């Protein structure tokens, strides 16, 4: 397989749930990560996803009390991801797809800048409103995901085994490889 930097990043990314070094994530890097989220495609270009990067120590420690996931505690920055249910011109609301695309863009940007992260969504469901309130989010913006960001302090995990190519992808029809 011929590789370039983008493909290297895609294939080397995995969810990191270890501790982080104290090294701060510079604003410049956080801005690039947020811009990667903003650059994602969105249904009917409704751009329903919004983002808050948190690097303020007091706010971070308050958030960490609300969402005390051990693997997020040492992260020097978090990115909070919000969605808004806005209909497209076709009457369909693509907000879930929109934030999925934004998330993947940010996961790859984070990895390519030398940081690690994990997409936390299931785990934040119960405290989403509290996190959103603390971040000053307007009522129409719902918190969906949290991304801790930082330099990893632990070894990277073994990559998750993905199902075989033949089980999930084909050419010219289901089950066909030719």
Q: Which chain residues interact with ligand FMN by CB under 6 A?
A: 14-15, 17, 118-123, 160
Shortest distance in whole angstroms from residue 91 CB to ligand FMN = 25
CB of 162 to ligand FMN, least distance (A): 7
Residue number with CB closer to ligand FMN (35 or 159): 159
- What is the distance between the alpha carbons of residues 152 and 103, in angstroms, rounded to a whole number? 19
Residues 43 and 88 sit within 8 Å (Cβ to Cβ): yes
Looking up tokens 């790859």 gives 108
Instruction: Considering the complex, state which of residue 1 and residue 161 has its C-beta at the smaller distance from ligand FMN.
Output: 161
**Min separation Cβ 89 and ligand FMN, Å:** 26
- Least distance CB 173 / ligand FMN (angstroms): 27
- 86/96 with CB nearer ligand FMN: 96
Strand, helix or coil for residue 22: coil
* Cβ-count burial 27-49 (b if 16+ within 10 Å, e if not): eebbeebbebbeebebbbebebb
Nearer to ligand FMN (CB atom), residue 31 or residue 126: 126
**CA 147 to CA 142: how far, in whole Å?**
15
């Amino acid at each position: 397989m011929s590789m370039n930097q983008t493909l290297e990043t895609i294939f080397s990314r995995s969810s990191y749930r270890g501790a982080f070094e104290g090294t701060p994530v510079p604003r410049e890097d956080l801005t690039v990560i947020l811009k990667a989220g903003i650059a994602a495609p969105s249904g009917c270009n409704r751009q329903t996803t919004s983002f808050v990067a948190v690097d303020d120590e007091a706010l971070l420690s308050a958030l960490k009390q609300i969402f005390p996931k051990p693997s997020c505690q040492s992260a020097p920055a978090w990115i909070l991801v919000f969605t808004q249910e806005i209909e497209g011109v076709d009457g369909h609301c693509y907000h879930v797809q929109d934030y999925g695309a934004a998330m993947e863009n940010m996961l790859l940007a984070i990895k390519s800048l030398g940081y690690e992260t994990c997409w936390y969504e299931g785990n934040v469901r119960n405290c989403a409103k509290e996190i959103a309130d603390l971040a000053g989010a307007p009522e129409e913006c719902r918190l969906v995901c949290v991304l801790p960001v930082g330099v990893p302090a632990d070894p990277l995990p073994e990559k998750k085994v993905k199902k075989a190519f033949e089980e999930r992808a084909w050419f010219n029809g289901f089950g066909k490889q030719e």
